Amino acid sequence: MHNTDDLPLLQEKWLQLKGGDGDALKFLFDRYANDLYNYGTKFTQDTDLVKECVQEIFVTVWNRRGFLGEPVNVKNYLLKSYRRLLFKQLGTRQNYAVYSETAANYSFQVELSAEERLIAQERRSAARERLERALASLTARQREAVFLKFHENLSYEEIAEVMDISVKATYKLMAIALSELRDNLSQDHFMLLLVLALVMACSCYI
């Protein structure tokens, strides 16, 4: 998750990349490779494919730099492009129908980080079970939207763009997801906070 105060710097780096500055490409890769990799591991356990797609996105951006537009949010542009590429590759290797851009029954797994697992095992085994049940009650689209909202700190408009759905549909998706979580976690606000922290568990590209 990065501060929105960095947007002017990121847009400057994007313009430099478009002008052929290799250092700007490296800057953006270093900045976003882990974010893209972490996002990709929620769709598939094939970490080699996830990493290949991260690399391919930046290679494509470099090779097509002369044709690139000027996105309002560089990270959002990369997330959307990465999701589309990963879905294409997963569709080719697995099931195209499941990973088409309009599909709703794809896989999106959010799991406890190693640290959270240890805490849960030692002190909160019952809490862990409730958390896992609450997340399991959500659809893949709902889990993805919650992840993008609370981990990637995207706005509803940005989530809609990444997931290729309308803003209205995004609000509805999030409302249902959060309602489902509250219902499953009763009135225990601490547990709800744990759920929101849970979606911040991440994997690293390097």
**What is the value of pTM for the model shown?**
0.70
Q: Does residue 102 lie in a domain region?
A: no
DSSP designation for 115: H
Q: Does residue 128 lie in a domain region?
A: no
Q: Does residue 44 lie in a domain region?
A: yes
Q: Does residue 99 lie in a domain region?
A: no
Q: Cα(29)–Cα(58) distance, rounded to whole angstroms? A: 7
CATH of the domain at 10: 1.20.140.160
Range of the domain at 150: 4-92+140-204
pLDDT in tens, 93-121: 765 544 555 555 677 877 655 554 555 45
Give the chain's mean pLDDT: 80
Q: Does residue 35 lie in a domain region?
A: yes
DSSP designation for 187: T
Count: domains in the chain: 1
Q: Does residue 167 lie in a domain region?
A: yes
| DSSP string over 84-97 | HHHHHHHHHHS-TT
Residues of the chain with pLDDT under 50: 1, 97-98, 116, 120, 189-190, 200
Q: Does residue 113 lie in a domain region?
A: no
Q: Does residue 112 lie in a domain region?
A: no
- Both tokens of 19, joined, read 């002008």
